[in-house]
Structure 1
Amino acid sequence: MTDRYQSPLSERYASKEMQYIFSPDMKFRTWRKLWIALAETEMELGLNITQEQIDELKAHAQDINYDVALKREKEVRHDVMSHVYAYGVQCPKAKGIIHLGATSCYVGDNTDIIVMTEALKLTKKKLVNVIAELKRFADRYKALPTLGFTHFQPAQPTTVGKRATLWMQEFLLDLEDLDYVLNGMKLLGSKGTTGTQASFLELFNGDHETIDKIDPMIAEKMGFSSCYPVSGQTYSRKVDTRVANVLAGIAASAHKFSNDIRLLQHLKEVEEPFEKSQIGSSAMAYKRNPMRSERIASLSRYVMIDALNPAITSATQWFERTLDDSANKRLSIPEGFLAIDGVLDLCLNVV
């Protein structure tokens, strides 16, 4: 499509792996996995749901009928109920038990957590690769003398390898932060419209002991250790803030690394890769501009500023929930991850 806007993040910078994590296929297949997990949990806890209905849901977990959902959404103006309807068209025996007792946030928020968790895992893999490559570079040039700089003025000598360990150490700090946030990710679970599980009290005739089993069972089926113990209708938007801050930290480290490379290339001490047929400038083809490092810096600034979006959003939520978070997080979280994905790929290439 050349007649409408296309995001440079998906067109130029982010990998196919990261793009898939934020794709409609990933999103809506996860919705269906969550509906299956809910239905299985309700069946196992005694509701009148049959294995035949579960099997029907599983048979259509992957083949999303987007055309039916889009047509329905034009009528009802509700994305979740449009997909409940579309799933029911494919699963006529099970349509009455899809989304039973749940709110829109059951699929929406739990999917967001799952998607961010998968994106953090991919980010961690790439960050580790950058650190490992920097380690090899530092070890290779650990004895090669070079002039040190303080205030960007000539100072005492250091080595090329020693300087690289400065970049590596900052990425290691980012890895520690990433691991901490990743290991703390929990699902929302299924807590109802205000976090009280009122609909399940009705479904299970006020049996609190049974209701207490719902969230842990759903978490286990979805590959998580637990759910957040309390919530309003949504998980705390503070979670998005923590995730975005991890990305911003990586971006800050990458920006410092790329700035140093740009300065060193000006001094003719190091040089980023330059392809055989690459053109340095439209007017001065002989130039060898540090374009990769410049791109790292440019994207990194975007990620650092993007972290303000979840922070402001989490600060301005009202009571049990408000919907002014939705449009913002649809942009800020995916684009933060797509941008840092491009940054880390560029860092690996430069190192």
Structure 2
Amino acid sequence: MEVFETYQTPLSSRYASKEMAHLFSPANRFFTWRKLWLNLAIAEKQLGLPISDDAIEQMKANLTLTPEQFEIAAVEEKKRRHDVMAHVHTFGKVAPAAAGIIHLGATSCYVTDNADLIFLREGLGFLIRSLAVLISRLSAFAAQYRDLPTLGFTHFQPAQLTTVGKRATLWIQELLWDLRNLKRVRDDLGFRGVKGTTGTQASFLALFDGDHDKVEELDALVTELSGFQYAYPVTSQTYSRKIDADVLAPLASLGATAHKIATDIRLLANLKEVEEPFESTQIGSSAMAYKRNPMRSERVCSLARHLMVLHQNALMTTSVQWFERTLDDSANRRITLPEAFLTADIVLSTLQNISEGLVVYPKVIARRISQELPFMATENVIMAIVKRGGDRQEAHERIRVLSHEAGHQVKHLGLANDLIERIRADPYFDPIKDDLDALLEPSSFIGRAPEQVDRFLKNWVVPALEDPELKEAVGNSGKVELSV
């Protein structure tokens, strides 16, 4: 019952994937701290410091914390008011041969900041792979409906026709840009390394008796053991919080893309042209039993707004870091960084779930086209009558008058658009009456939309997903099932 008596963030309790929720869990955080302490000890021993083999082996054997160790750490932290030192002492109890050398020469940010950089890099990997799967799903949708005409909208007013598939490529293109941005920031991510209390490496210089080369070698070795290709050349006590802002920027941009896609789907659901999945037992409203609310897309919009705002938080934290360090970033970052990644993870999984069950209603789409197409076809009608010897200006005037009459029928009387019937009834248009059906064929109004879909998928999507990491992710992916 205790779990129901304390607040839990819905990001992890209701929505996020197990993988992303585990990444930012206390168990993984403190495991990573211990791994970093082990890497430091291995490097220091390799460079000549008197660290025993037993110390290394005991550290290796106790990287994962037991429930009892979590309790010990909580007691230590309450006593010391310092989370890192609480875990130094807790680690030392299960690795007594290493108790005297754990954290040797380091400052707290050695474990906290380096661990955060590891989490950021792994989190970006999760998002990159999830995004690739989403792109693959929407690409299949675009290909399936590459040539299905649908009414285009500008200003959410009827415009020239496009296709259902072509509209989806607009979504995919923005997701490809998000994929590029996420990969860029992951590839650019460095390691804090071993830099000491204010970034001068003074403590490590003292450990190695003033040997600058060994200090530099230590930094490089720990960086390599931790799986990074390079460490930031200079830091203060922390790595620059501008890195957090840089990482959250593409996440916020992804949020904007997701919001746009989900909003389009919500509007299409209102038009009853395209709907997100709706299960047979799903309830849309507690009062209105007939309702089919687009709750998944609404969830995406809700969380995407949160994701976009979190970047501002990182920017503000970056801007107020005084000199070599100030602690007013700490509590903020404990919330902001995990929430950003959990939120992005949820947005992507929900969009994937939507994309895997999108329902298209071609007859509804065709009916709406038939209501608007007569007005859009008037230029074709004028051109056809001119080709049969008619006068362009006279044809334009007759069409203008008939269009206004038909518009009156639609707007003031609530009747169907009867412009084509009016054209058929006007003797002036007798030369082209047999051509009217062909002039009103929706596929003749979609331009190169199908070819654009084909070319886009072939030249842009396929190469992007050929990346081995992404190809494997797509190949191993299954359908997303939402827990709520």
**TM bracket (short chain):** over 0.9
Paired with 2:171 and 2:286, the residues of 1 have a C-alpha distance of 32
Match of 2:11 among 9, 12, 15: 9
Larger deviation, residues 25-34 vs 62-71: 62-71
2:241 corresponding residue in structure 1: 237
**Matched residue SS, 1:193:** coil
1:115-163 deviations in Å (ceiling 9; x for gaps): 1111111011111111111111000100100010111111110000000
Asked if residue 327 in structure 1 is aligned to residue 353 in structure 2, the reply is: no
Q: CA shift at 1:94, angstroms?
A: 1.0
Match of 2:26 among 24, 27, 40: 24
Larger Rg computed on CA atoms? 2
Asked if residue 295 in structure 1 is aligned to residue 299 in structure 2, the reply is: yes
Q: CA shift at 1:63, angstroms?
A: 3.0
Paired with 2:343 and 2:224, the residues of 1 have a C-alpha distance of 31
Paired with 1:29 and 1:236, the residues of 2 have a C-alpha distance of 24
Q: CA shift at 1:286, angstroms?
A: 1.4
The amino acid across from 1:32 in the alignment is R
Asked if residue 78 in structure 1 is aligned to residue 82 in structure 2, the reply is: yes
Q: CA shift at 1:67, angstroms?
A: 1.3
Paired with 2:54 and 2:97, the residues of 1 have a C-alpha distance of 8
**Matched residue SS, 1:218:** helix
Match of 1:182 among 179, 186, 199: 186
Paired with 1:13 and 1:59, the residues of 2 have a C-alpha distance of 34
Paired with 1:282 and 1:62, the residues of 2 have a C-alpha distance of 46
The amino acid across from 1:136 in the alignment is A
Correspondence 1:185-200 to 2 at 5 A: 185-200=189-204
Paired with 2:74 and 2:283, the residues of 1 have a C-alpha distance of 45
Paired with 1:272 and 1:56, the residues of 2 have a C-alpha distance of 53
1:42 corresponding residue in structure 2: 44
Report if the CA contact (8 A) 2:27-2:65 is conserved. Answer: no
* TM-score after normalising by structure 1: 0.99
Asked if residue 87 in structure 1 is aligned to residue 60 in structure 2, the reply is: no
Paired with 2:51 and 2:337, the residues of 1 have a C-alpha distance of 36
**Matched residue SS, 2:150:** strand
**Matched residue SS, 2:161:** strand
Instruction: Considering fraction of residues, name the structure with more helix.
Output: 2
The amino acid across from 1:23 in the alignment is S
Paired with 2:226 and 2:289, the residues of 1 have a C-alpha distance of 54
The amino acid across from 1:189 in the alignment is G
Paired with 2:79 and 2:298, the residues of 1 have a C-alpha distance of 47
2:310 corresponding residue in structure 1: 306
Correspondence 1:143-162 to 2 at 5 A: 143-162=147-166
Match of 1:208 among 193, 207, 212: 212
Paired with 2:175 and 2:237, the residues of 1 have a C-alpha distance of 36
Asked if residue 108 in structure 1 is aligned to residue 112 in structure 2, the reply is: yes
Report if the CA contact (8 A) 1:252-1:304 is conserved. Answer: yes
Asked if residue 338 in structure 1 is aligned to residue 342 in structure 2, the reply is: yes
Divergent runs of 4+, >6 A: none
Correspondence 1:251-330 to 2 at 5 A: 251-330=255-334
Q: CA RMSD, aligned part only?
A: 0.8
The amino acid across from 2:74 in the alignment is L
Report if the CA contact (8 A) 1:174-1:250 is conserved. Answer: yes
Q: CA shift at 1:12, angstroms?
A: 1.4
Asked if residue 247 in structure 1 is aligned to residue 251 in structure 2, the reply is: yes
The amino acid across from 2:201 in the alignment is Q
**Matched residue SS, 2:50:** coil
Match of 1:121 among 125, 129, 139: 125
* TM-score after normalising by structure 2: 0.72
**Matched residue SS, 1:85:** helix
Paired with 2:190 and 2:53, the residues of 1 have a C-alpha distance of 28
1:83-120 deviations in Å (ceiling 9; x for gaps): 00001111111100100000000000000000111111
**Matched residue SS, 1:32:** helix
Report if the CA contact (8 A) 1:215-1:226 is conserved. Answer: no
The amino acid across from 1:43 in the alignment is K
The amino acid across from 2:208 in the alignment is F
Q: CA shift at 1:8, angstroms?
A: 1.0
Q: CA shift at 1:271, angstroms?
A: 0.6
Identity %: 56
Paired with 1:114 and 1:2, the residues of 2 have a C-alpha distance of 32
**Matched residue SS, 2:153:** strand
Q: CA shift at 1:62, angstroms?
A: 1.4
**Matched residue SS, 2:158:** strand
Paired with 2:107 and 2:154, the residues of 1 have a C-alpha distance of 57
Paired with 1:88 and 1:212, the residues of 2 have a C-alpha distance of 27
Match of 1:131 among 114, 123, 135: 135
**Matched residue SS, 1:11:** helix
Paired with 1:112 and 1:305, the residues of 2 have a C-alpha distance of 20
The number of aligned residues is 351
The amino acid across from 1:232 in the alignment is S
The amino acid across from 2:127 in the alignment is T
